[in-house]
Structure formats: C-alpha cells, structure tokens
Structure 1
Amino acid sequence: MNKVKFWFQNRRTQLKTQTERYENSILKQENEQLKVEILAMKEAVKKLVCSICGGKATIPDKSIQEHKLLIENARLKEDLNNMTNRMMGKSSVPVEARPMTGFNTPIQRNAYLEQASNAMEELLKLGTVNAPLWIKNTEGGGETLNFEEYVRFFSPCLGPKPAGYVSEATRASGMISMTCATLVEALMNSQLWRDMFVGMIGSSSTMEVISKGIEGSRNGALQLMKAEIQIVSSLVPVRVVKFVRFAKQRAEGVWIVVDLSIDYGMKGRLTRRCPSGCILQDMKNGFSKVTWIEHTEYDEQLLPQQYRRLVRSGVGFGAQRWISALLRHCEGLKYTMSPTLNQHLFLGTKRNLKCLAQRMKSIFCAGVCLSGGGQWDLISHAPGKPRIMTRKCISGVGEPLRMIACATISVWIAAKHRHLFDLLLTKQLRCVWDVICHGIANETMVHFPLGQDEISRNCISILKSNETTSDMTGSLIVYTTMDFPTVTLVVNGGDTSSDAFFPSGLCIVPSYNDNGECGSMVTVGHQILLPDLGTSYLTIETVSMIHELMSRTILGIQEIVRHSQQ
C-alpha cells in the first residue's frame, strides 16, 4: 500500500516538474521573442526623426514622467488647433519648421528635455567606456576621443557636423574635496559656476529654469544657460555658447551634469557644445571623484595658427583644463577656510585675499578677452603691435570718473611654459620684465599659499598685490598696485569691494609642434588709469607710452629666457 502511495507521489512530482520545465521553456521563448521585438523597436526609434526638434526620437526617461499629463494635454490642444485651422482654411506651420528658440509650450519643453536625456546617456557611455574609444593624450594630460570609434557607436545628438568645423573631445578625472551635492548646486548656479572657474568663464547667466528638480533637490533640474568661455589671449575669440544644462542623480551618491547646445545652426554661432559635462561619485571623507568630458565642434578658420594645435589637443578648452581649475578652486577653499592651515593669517584676512585675487583675475581676463559685457572702444590694433582699447571707469554713484586703457599682445617665446613661469617668478629677475615694479623693492609683505604642491606655485602675495596660478594647461600671473591704507584694510579683514583695481598680468600656455612642446605663447596685458582727457581718444604721446610699456615687458621676458639658455 505504501509503495502505491509513494509511486503516485513520485508520479505527481514528475508531472509537476515536467510541467514547470515546459512552462519555463515557453517563457524563455517568449522572452527571446520580446528581446528581438525590443531591439527592432529600438532600431526603429533610432531611425525616427522627432517632429518637434528635428533630432532622433527616443523613449522618454523616468524624469519626464511627471510632465506626461501636461504634455499629453498640450499635444491634444495642438491637434485641436491644427484641425480647427484646416477646417477654417487657415495655413498651419508644421511643428518641425518652428525655430527652437524658447520654451513657450510644454511640447518645446519636452523636446529639450528629451534632447538633454539623450545627451546624458551619451555622456554616461563616454564616461564609462575606455580603450579603444579613448586614447591617452600626450599634450596636456587626460585622454582624447577616438573619433573613428565614436562614429561607429554613437549617432550625433546635434546632427551632422557643419562644413569647415573640426571636433575636439577630451576626458580627464580627479579627486576633489567637495561632495557631489555641493558641486551640483554650484554648477546649476550661474554665479557660483563662474566664480568656480574664474578666468575661464568670462560671463554666465541662467536664461530660464525649465525644471527646478524633484522633491527640493537638483535631481531632474533642467535650465537654459548662456556663457562666454575663453582662453586668456587677445588672438583667440571667446566662445559664446547657449545650452541646456541637465542634472540627474543616477544612483545613491552618483550624479551626472550634462550640457548640450540648443542654438546650433543659428547665424553667428561659431561653436556648438556636443554632450559635455561631468560624472560625479561621492567618496569617503567628503571627497568626490569627478570624470569630466568636453566635446565641442567649432570653426577653426577663426583661430590663428599659433593656437590651433593647442585648442585641437584640448589643452585650450578641454577637460584637463576644467579639472585642473576645479582642483585649484577646491584646494584654495580648503586653505582659505581651514583653521589649521595658514595660521599666521586671520580668517578674515584669508577671505579678503581670496576675494581680491578673484576680482583681479576676473578684471584682467575681461580686459584681455573683451568678455563680461564691458563697453570697449578700439584705439589701435595693427599686426605685431599691441591692441589698445579704452573704456570709461564708472564711480560708485554711476557717473564717469576716468578713462582706462587696456593694452594686450600675444607673442611666442622659446621656452617651455613651466620653465618660463618659474623664471618670471624669480624675485631677482622680476624687475627685468615687470616695468611697474622697476626700481621698487620686491619684498613679500604677505604670502598666502593656496596649495601644498610647491611645484604648482599657486598663491596670493602682497608685493603690490599678486596672484599666481599654474597647471599643465597653462600659467597665470596677475598683479596690481595698492596703496598702504588699502593693504592695511586687506590684512585687517576690511571690505575692499568698493576699491578700484586695474590689474596687469601674463598668461602663458604651451605651444606644440610634431615633436611636442616647443615653446610658449605669452599674452601680456596692462590696464592703465589715464588722466581725465574728456574723450575716449588717446593722444599720440599716450599711445607711444603704452607701446613702450608693452615693448619693455616683452623684451625683458626675452632677455630672461636668453640668459637662462646660455
């Protein structure tokens, strides 16, 4: 009896097992079939053209779901309007023919949201895939994109590259002493972003906030921005870009911030920003790992030959420059705010010195690059001669006070940029090239290091007032004269925001040929407060004096280099 019972139990178990196996095989077949269908649908979607933006159509991202009802409602209204127009005999402009210049309708907003989501997916892939997609960059560090591999796996978010444009794409990584959330907040705030990359960004603004994010965070934040991105040289045009910036939290402690041009193809736009931005990952002790990617397409014909290789390699505008500036900013904050570092200076003094240096650098770079919205009048600009501009200096009550002249010139010097930077900072040689301090004792009253790397020489000093910064992408020396009461005010932590400064300085970037670094491009800039002439025009004597000032600076630099090579 027990044998019969066990036989039935075993038989039932066998039948159950066979049934489960059969059902599993059916499910596997259905699963495979679904995979094939999904792949086919994805391929079909890739080939579709979005009727709104003209770009490729994509499946909406999760961050778009909150807009779904609003978008559907707007789409129905659009269909109703089109049907009404047709019935009444009115012409209807097709959606794809409308210029993408605003966010007037939810459909337009959704179009940009989808474009930004596509850009973010591309940025994520570019940030995680290594060789052969990325090649080690021998000029300036980081990595350079292998465009042959890129075109095999990616469909351009902005469509075909315009005729005559060239591509530049680089990637670099670094560890910074800042959390992901703090960095994302700074990147989404145009003023904080500009302050973080002072000298690189001439001006920045948030034109429109499309989405503030969800649940009080920056997750899903999308906004329209405009910026002037620059190399400190009078020969290199400032890159004016208009783009959407999209921030999203991909996982716990992992954020992505991506930029994408939206004014590409518009007349006068000579640069377009392909998916660019950073992938952020929180680490221990308040640090973050940052992977920065810069991908742009630009009209190279506007660049002088001396700077073309620098820009195409990514040293001029590439990822390594952004990472280096970010590292320098974070290290400067640490040395400014830490109670244990630079203990010989009061906290108020350190803050004052940092703010003063930021202002000096910003004013100097704006004068050289003509960025930041200042109204300059051209006085003279001949090949091989300094460019001289003037503008009105406005007092605190908004009335014209005096005229400021800004003279700048860029020349090639036969010395590698780090070697030249070290020579120019040698105290005994300063009076050879710095005509302002000629005959003045060059003693350091206050020295404020902004990093522990002795090689970098990043610091603020009060000789007059002097800031130096350097990394593998270039070096900068900015200085201005200060009277003793102002120095006392700075050291005692007083407010100097209303004091006027007219900084001068040098920017040094590496120059490359087929054999590597072959010298430096040096940009010299001087800002001079002129006598009250009552006009923006300069006398012949004043122009001659400015030419003499610039000539003595260049000849002094060349003399230092010549003696160092003997």
Structure 2
Amino acid sequence: MEFGSGGGGGGGGSGSGGDHDGSDPQKRKKRYHRHTALQIQRLEAMFKDCPHPDEKQRLQLSRELGLAPRQIKFWFQNRRTQMKAQHERADNCALRAENDKIRCENIAIREALKNVICPSCGGPPVTEDSYFDEQKLRMENAQLKEELDRVSSIAAKYIGRPISQLPPVQPIHISSLDLTMGTFGGQGISGPSLDLDLLPGSSSTLPNLPYQQIVLSDMDKSLMTDIAANAMEELLRLLQTNEPLWMKSSTDGRDILDLDSYERMFPRANSHLKNPNVRIESSRDSGVVIMNGLALVDMFMDCMYEELQVLSPVVPTREFYVLRYCQQIEQGSWAVVNVSYDSPQFSSQCQSHRFPSGCLIQDLPNGYSKVTWVEHLEIEDRTPIHRLYQDLIQSGMAFGADRWLATLQRMCERFACLMVSGTSTRDLGGVIPSPDGKRSMMKLAQRMVSSFCTSISTSNRHRGTTISGLNEVGVRVTLHKSMDPGQPNGVVLNAATTFWLPIPPQNVFNFFKDERTRPQWDVLTNGNAVQEVAHIANGSNPGNCISVLRAINTSQNNMLILQESCIDSSGSLVVYCPVDLPAINIAMSGEDPSYIPLLPSGFTISPDGHLDQGDGASTSSNVHGNMGSRSSGSLISVAFQILVSSLPSAKLNMESVTTVNNLIGTTVQQIKAALNCPSS
C-alpha cells in the first residue's frame, strides 16, 4: 500500500513536531496547509485540462506558483489518486444500489411464483432452474457472510471495533491512496544506488515472490484506509510521547516501551499471533541522516513486502506484508508508518506482525534530516532461538530501531560518497582514471555484497537446496544452479557457519580489515602478504571502504581481490571476491560491470548482546563503529561460495561438500588461533 507525501488539494496532516503526551485533541487535529488558495485554484484548473502534465509543464507551474517541481509532481499524483478513489467509491455505491434493486426484484418474482398453480397437480411448480437459482443464492450468501466475518475480525483487531460500527468511508483528503501491494526486499529501504543489503543483510530485489499478487476487494480497500489512518495516529503518539510510555533502560540507556502504559493508551482486543511463544519487541531511536527529507520520503515510498534478516545461517528471516502510509505533518516534516495487514492470502505464513512502526523525518537547515524511528513487533518463535543469538534477539538489538537508523545513516553516507564529483579515491597505482570508474567500482562492490547476503540467507524464497544442515562443525551447505549473468554458470555450493569469540566486535573487524593479518586466515593468498592498490572511501568511518588488493610474491599476477568493508553500531561486514585483471579493468574504466561474474566470500560480525560490564556508560547507536563498548563478545558468520562445476546439469559430488566443510572448519580454527581464542 502506498501513500503520497502530501495532501491532494492542499490538505495537510495532523501532528506536531514537539514532545507531548498526545492527550490534547485540539493539537492532534490541527491541520497545516501547504498551498495557498491561489495555488490550489491554478493547480485545479491545470488538472481539469491535463491530469498528467509532462516535465516541461510541471516546471512551468513550478515557476508560476513558487513551488518545487517535486511538490508539483506529488500534488498531481495525489490528486489523480484521490479522484480515482472517489470514482471507485461512486461506482461502488451505484453497483450496490443496482444489486439491491435486483435482489428486491428477485424476491418479488419468488413471491409471485409461490402463487402460480401447476395445471397438472394443482400445486406450485418446481423446476430444475429454480432449484439451482436457490442453491446459487445460498452459496452467494455464505460467501458474503464469510467475507463480512473476515473483515469484521480484522477491523476488531486493528481498530478496536467491528466493521458494523465503522463510520461510512468519506472521500480521502489527508493523502493520496494507491491500494497496491507488491515486492519490496531488504531492511525496508531502497533508492537510487542505495541498497541496505550492505549490513542488515537482505535482498533488494525479489525475483521469486513467495506469494502471488494480492487481489483487494472494495471492502478491503475501505478497511485498509481506516487502518492506515489509525496507524498514523498511533505512530505519531509513539514518536512524540516520552514517559510513562517510553522508559530509559537502566543498562544501556535505550528507549524501552512500557507495555502497561501502551495497553492503556492503545487497547486492543487480543494478540494477532496465537501461540504461547509470542513476545513483543519495541524500540525507539533518533539521529541525523545525510540526506534531505524529500529525498528520504521519495526513497521510502515503495510498495512493499519486507524481509528482515540477521546474517547468519542459524537465524530465521522475518517476513511481513505491510501497509505503508506517508503523510506530511508540516512544512519540512513527514511521517511514514508501516503496519501489518492480515490477509488470508498470506498471513498464515508470516510468523511476525508489525504494529504501527516507522519514522518521523524532519528537515534540518544544512540539508540533512533528523530521523526518529520506532519499531514495534509481535514475534512468534515457532522454533527456539539459537543459543548464540538469544541475548542479541531478545534484547531487541538484532531487529530494533537503532539498527534501522544506523544502517540508514551509513547507507546515506555511501550514497553521498557516490555523488561527490571530485575524486574520493586513494589511487595507489593510478588505476582508477575517472569518476565513472569510481561509480562502476562501487556498483560492482555493491552487487558483490548483495550476492554474499543472498548466499547466507535463510529465506525460503531464495533458490537452492540444502545439502547438509548444521552438522558436527555447524556448517550449513546449500546448492543452487546458477545461470545469472552476475555469477559463473554452473553448480554453486554455498557454505556458512556462525561461531562466538570472546573479543569485542570492533577488534574482530580490525583483524579482518587489516591486510597485514590477512595471510593468517585467507586461503586465497596461500600465506602470501597482500598490498592495497586502490581505495575508495564509503563514509566517514575509515572502515567503510572498497579496496582492490594484490597478493605479493605469487605467480597469479593476473588475479586481484575486490573487497568491501563496512561498519556501524549494529555490526560490521567484510566481503571479498577474486576478480581477474581484465574484469577489474572493465570496471575501473567506467564500463558497465553487471556481467562480471562474482562468487564472493566473507564475514559478518555482530555484538553478542552481552553488555560489557566494564563500561557502565550508556552508548548511542549514532556513534559509528562503537560496537565494542556495547558488547563483550562477537558473533561471527563466515560464508564461502564455490563453483563445483561449470555445467548446470552436473551431478553433485559429495566430496565437494566434505571439502567445503573442511575449508570452513580450517578457516575458523585459523581465526581462533590468530586471535588467541580457545579452539573448542
């Protein structure tokens, strides 16, 4: 479900930018009008003549009315959708009236038939047609009753009252409405060259959706409108209210939702997920993002299917179908709300339910934005949480607001580095000649990381067959046949495992990032030292970068290593891949790198959820790379991809599985030995 960023016809939204308890209805209902009456009159006149203005016409309107072209675009988009919704409701009313008329005629005909006398027996005639007509009506009545019961049940859960008590739906003025649902992957964000695969670990594209396109009835659309409006009101109160609704954690200073206060403020009939293992995760965080508000809004406004992932073979992904609603609160301020929608087409397969969650985006004078994020989930653990991840997941850090915000901050920095016109490369060998070469290299590295995240995913929608589960060395091996242009053709083995180290995450990241320690664990180097020959900065933290590495004193002078590393407060990642010299030259010259085959390997590093008792000070999720002060240990996932055969029809040799198991086992032991950790 997608809503535009502003009100059609000049309508604004409710809410305010300050902190208050939300108890004053006058403040909540206050409306802000973006456009003057003259502007609206001119826009309406233009809409009457041309509802789909081209870019030239929008620019002309922009100059005439003193509005930004994006505002003109949003206004026409909202107005078209508003008109569409009004027409649909008018058509629906007409159809209902016609249906009632036909039903009345049907009843009158039936009553008349009761008085007809059969000339043979003197009784009422019974024909085969009348029998089947009656059976058809009975079936239609049963279907209508089932639909009404279903929608009444959904309404009672979300809105707190059955459908019979809902007010009649009025034409929508608060925002445009496009009732569509479709694909959306990742931690919830995508945009131009902006991909959150790079740390939460998820896929930005869904080539094989697990569900078919959703068909919405008129009753569903009306109900979704009401649910979205109620969800927005709840989110604004969650964003703007502090105590007693939100309390500061005594251990790390994070905002924790007081469930008793929440239930009193937002009473609901019952839980959405029926299972004794259901639990609540809630969190709130805020920080500054290097992107203006309108750009963030434009980036967020996608139809969406969400899949949230912790990069480990032992943590199941979380899947949601959600309604998304964006509303401009006032000039320079927007709210975006996400809320799960229980449709029988998919709700039975989702083990997670999203209560109203989302963010408040506020423009800052320097072109940045302040983003306040709320996550509120109901989780059903159908299988026990793996012992390594119990603390991290149950603390809310694995999928919480601080992780969303930290990832958004880092990815916006990456996008800013991509847009810098001057060179931001430390080109040690003179091999990246132009900004086009830099962009091509960043695109290639992003695809490498995305492929790595997909290979380690536990999602059922990713193609592949599990060859062995978590065996005695804890390695999960999956097999898939690749014919994608970005991967070598043939049979590919993915192998991954997770282990724990009693070392802070920052120290582990430094170990993997340092080329001087690489020979201690990287089998690609055969024990040889490596040298960085090119470097592209990806953010303010020195650990966020793309590197081209070359092994020293080796006969393979034609092979280089492409590597991307990134770090923020929620974790870090180091991904690398051997790439031959001709392929690297293609990317460095600025050509399209989409067809360069990649089989990446790498590591993800997460805090283990145990707070470091030696540091009692609370830490902020907005400090890049400050993982060590939050966690006393690290959870490391290591994953390899190996081309078993270049023939897609080749049969798997189980010796290959044994080989990859031994490879990962040896790598883990080498890492533990290098860091002076026990091998058991």
TM-score class normalised by the smaller sequence:
0.7 to 0.9
Cα shift at 1:144:
2.4
Among residues 306, 327, 330, which one is paired with 2:388 in the alignment? 306
Separation in 1, partners of 2:309, 2:370? 25
Cα shift at 1:360:
1.0
- Paired residues of 1:176 and 1:287 also in contact (CA < 8 A): yes
- Paired residues of 2:608 and 2:635 also in contact (CA < 8 A): yes
Residues 335/76 of structure 1: CA separation in 2 closer, same or farther (3 Å cut) = same
Counterpart check, 1:287 vs 2:368: yes
Map Cα deviations across residues 378-437 of structure 1 (whole Å, 9 max, x no partner).
211244431111111215499x93111100111122212122112222322212122223
Q: SS state of the match for residue 96, structure 1?
A: helix
Separation in 1, partners of 2:600, 2:250? 34
Residues 174/493 of structure 1: CA separation in 2 closer, same or farther (3 Å cut) = same
Among residues 630, 638, 649, which one is paired with 1:524 in the alignment? 638
Counterpart check, 1:477 vs 2:574: yes
Aligned letter for 1:562?
A: N
Tell me which residue corresponds to 2:563.
466
Separation in 2, partners of 1:134, 1:481? 48
Tell me which residue corresponds to 1:558.
672
Q: CA RMSD in A?
A: 3.2
Q: Could you state the TM-score of these two structures normalised by the residue count of structure 1?
A: 0.76
Equivalent residues in 2 for 1:135-154, closer than 5 Å? 135-137=247-249, 142-154=254-266
Tell me which residue corresponds to 1:511.
608
Q: Which runs of 5+ in 1 are unaligned?
A: 1-37, 43-61, 190-205, 207-224
Aligned letter for 1:119?
A: A
Counterpart check, 1:258 vs 2:337: yes
Aligned letter for 2:636?
A: V
Equivalent residues in 2 for 1:55-70, closer than 5 Å? 67=85, 70=88
Separation in 2, partners of 1:334, 1:275? 30
Q: SS state of the match for residue 530, structure 1?
A: strand
Separation in 2, partners of 1:551, 1:230? 24
Counterpart check, 1:386 vs 2:483: no
Q: SS state of the match for residue 540, structure 2?
A: coil
Tell me which residue corresponds to 2:530.
442
Q: Could you state the TM-score of these two structures normalised by the residue count of structure 2?
A: 0.64
Equivalent residues in 2 for 1:319-330, closer than 5 Å? 319-330=401-412
- Paired residues of 1:157 and 1:275 also in contact (CA < 8 A): no
Cα shift at 1:85:
4.7
Separation in 2, partners of 1:535, 1:472? 44
Cα shift at 1:512:
2.6
Cα shift at 1:311:
1.8
Separation in 2, partners of 1:257, 1:357? 30
- Paired residues of 1:507 and 1:524 also in contact (CA < 8 A): yes
- Paired residues of 1:139 and 1:313 also in contact (CA < 8 A): no
Residues 487/532 of structure 1: CA separation in 2 closer, same or farther (3 Å cut) = closer
Q: SS state of the match for residue 660, structure 2?
A: helix
Q: Which runs of 5+ in 2 are unaligned?
A: 1-24, 30-77, 108-133, 155-212, 427-431, 550-560, 614-630
Q: SS state of the match for residue 348, structure 2?
A: coil
Aligned letter for 2:570?
A: T
Same amino acid, percent of matched pairs: 30
Among residues 75, 89, 98, which one is paired with 1:71 in the alignment? 89
Separation in 2, partners of 1:486, 1:178? 33
Tell me which residue corresponds to 1:179.
292
Tell me which residue corresponds to 2:148.
96
Q: SS state of the match for residue 443, structure 1?
A: strand
Cα shift at 1:354:
1.6
Separation in 1, partners of 2:644, 2:320? 34
Deviates more, 1:87-96 or 1:286-295: 87-96
Separation in 1, partners of 2:231, 2:271? 12
Tell me which residue corresponds to 1:338.
420
- Paired residues of 1:380 and 1:388 also in contact (CA < 8 A): yes
Residues 361/136 of structure 1: CA separation in 2 closer, same or farther (3 Å cut) = farther
Deviates more, 1:440-449 or 1:513-522: 513-522
Tell me which residue corresponds to 1:502.
599
Residues 406/562 of structure 1: CA separation in 2 closer, same or farther (3 Å cut) = same
Cα shift at 1:439:
2.8
Map Cα deviations across residues 306-363 of structure 1 (whole Å, 9 max, x no partner).
2232122222111111111111111112222213451656311221122112101110
Counterpart check, 1:411 vs 2:492: no
Separation in 1, partners of 2:423, 2:267? 49
Indicate the structure with greater strand content.
Answer: 1
Question: How many residues end up aligned between the 2 structures?
Answer: 470
Separation in 2, partners of 1:267, 1:343? 49
- Paired residues of 2:339 and 2:357 also in contact (CA < 8 A): yes
Q: SS state of the match for residue 286, structure 1?
A: coil
Aligned letter for 1:275?
A: P
- Paired residues of 1:264 and 1:272 also in contact (CA < 8 A): no
Among residues 193, 200, 219, which one is paired with 1:107 in the alignment? 219
Tell me which residue corresponds to 2:301.
188
- Paired residues of 1:377 and 1:389 also in contact (CA < 8 A): yes
Equivalent residues in 2 for 1:345-364, closer than 5 Å? 346-364=434-452
